Amino acid sequence: MPKIQSISSFLPPYSYSQDQASTLLRNLFNDHYDDLERMLKVFQNGDIESRQFCVPMEWFEHPHDLEERNRLYIELATSYGALAINACLQNQEFLNESVHPSEIDGIIFISSTGFSTPSIDARILNQLPFSDYVKRIPIWGLGCAGGASGLSRAFDYCLAYPKAKVLVLCVELCSLTFQPNDYSKSNLIGASLFADGVACALVCGDEVDIVSKKPSPTFVSTSSKIMPNSENVMGWDMKNDGLHVVFSKSIPSIIEKWLEPFVTEFLLENELTSSQLDHFIAHPGGKKVLTAYEKSLGFDTSKTEISRGILRKHGNMSSPTVLYVLEDFMKLDCHVGDKGLLTALGPGFSGELILLEWQ
């Protein structure tokens, strides 16, 4: 079965504490909330200590039109994406030998925080020595589910083409969507949670001859599911000045009720139960989301420790976040035969599950 041979993550240049972010929002929203101090507690109660952004803090203090936001998105997504690809293909922690870009057969590009035609992957191809015949599969709008969905689509591709080497590149610059004049509760919560991140994974088919330095997560099975009539749970509201976040307060309760039967059915199809999983590779959408995972699946906090660590250091970076979690798992001394469930949820409302086994 196809396997994940290498992975890398990239940290944007500006790192700020939650206290610094909270102070910024206090200054911007002070005249628009009677109970602002109570509302700002979300910054301290979310188990996030620091986040990384592609722009300095001063940038958030002023309005920016969609043209400026998107120009920055194209420029930085292209630059950061190229760096993440190089790091993945040259990652000596997982690969005995580097993989040259010309060996790559396909690129699945995932993003939801900006627009580009030609897509960002095409722009990256002009910066790195890829083949002119590489297959490009840009996917937009999956939000937080995008990293897991991208891996699943790479699995599908490599099943069809067992000699293929496919990159999954996730780039999200959530900071460029921040609206300083949007005083909604959704915007305030989003400002306390979201950050920028970039990650890249190399997925290879059965007939690819690459020697790994340690056991690699190998795909066993995948599943996708969407909840009917749930478009308003999370997503973007497009306005003249850009993207405005939509965030339902019911997300944790939806996860508790909806995720458990989805996971249980998927595991039963693979003759497993949740108690037989060695690793739980969960997208950390937020503190309450991780707690909902634990309640619905009967896990203790040890199963979400790595996800909580990524959330604490980086916040929710949307689609790349689950790849940051996977990278930490791949750095561990996992044993041959270990089984892991990778999961992420996103707009739609939808979910993606991947059953992995280390081989």
Angle between helices 321-331 and 146-160 in degrees, nearest 10: 70
Provide the total of helices (H) and of strands (E) in the chain, helices listed first.
Answer: 11, 13
- The answer to whether residue 153 sits within a structural domain is yes
Q: Are residues 31 and 179 in the same domain?
A: yes
Write the CATH number for 72: 3.40.47.10
Q: Which of 161, 119, 152 is nearest to 137 (CA)?
A: 119
Clarify whether residues 194 and 252 are in a common domain. no
What is the per-residue pLDDT for 346? 86
- CA 292, CA 313: separation in Å to the nearest integer? 20
Please state, in angstroms and as integers, the Cα–Cα distance from residue 276 to each residue in 258, 267, 349, following that order. Answer: 21, 10, 27
Which helix (H) or strand (E) segment is 119 a member of? none
Residues 126 and 32 in one domain: yes
Asked whether residue 157 falls in the same domain as residue 256, the answer is no
Tens digits of pLDDT across the chain (359 residues)? 999 999 999 999 999 999 998 888 888 888 777 777 887 887 888 889 999 999 999 998 888 899 999 999 999 999 999 999 999 999 999 999 999 999 999 999 999 999 999 999 999 999 999 999 999 999 999 999 999 999 999 999 999 999 999 999 999 999 999 888 878 777 888 888 899 999 999 999 999 988 788 899 999 999 999 888 877 777 787 878 878 777 776 777 777 788 888 999 999 999 999 889 999 999 998 888 898 888 888 898 899 999 999 999 999 999 999 999 999 999 998 999 999 999 998 887 889 999 999 99
Task: Give a yes or no: residue 142 inside a domain.
Answer: yes
Cis, peptide link before residue 217, omega less than 30° from 0: no
User: Which residue among 204, 225, 243 closes a domain?
Assistant: 204
Q: Has residue 196 been placed in a domain?
A: yes
Range of the domain at 184: 3-204
Q: Helix, strand or coil for residue 197?
A: strand
The type of residue at 159 is L
Domain boundary pick from 176, 204, 232: 204
User: What span, in angstroms and rounded, lies between the C-alpha atoms of 64 and 23?
Assistant: 20
The answer to the question of residue 209 being in a domain is no
Q: Are 213 and 93 in contact (CB under 8 A)?
A: yes
Continuous segment of H or E residues that includes residue 264: helix 251-269
Same domain, 158 and 242: no
Q: pLDDT tens across 220-242, in order?
A: 999 999 888 877 777 787 878 87
25 and 81 assigned to the same domain: yes
- In terms of domains, do 170 and 81 share one? yes
Same domain as 20, residue 125? yes
Q: Are 7 and 145 found together in one domain? A: yes
**CA–CA gap between residue 136 and residue 167 (Å, rounded):** 10
pTM above 0.75, yes or no: yes
pLDDT of residue 30: 80
Report the catalytic residues. Answer: 144
Residue 143 is assigned to a structural domain of this protein: yes
Residue 212 lies in a domain: no
Compute CA 50 distance to the chain's CA centroid, rounded to the nearest angstrom.
17
Q: 3-state DSSP call for residue 240?
A: coil
First to last CA, the chain: 10
Clarify whether residues 165 and 227 are in a common domain. no
Number of domains in the chain: 2
13 and 159 housed in the same domain: yes
Residue 210 included in any domain: no
Boundary residue ending a domain (172, 204, 236): 204
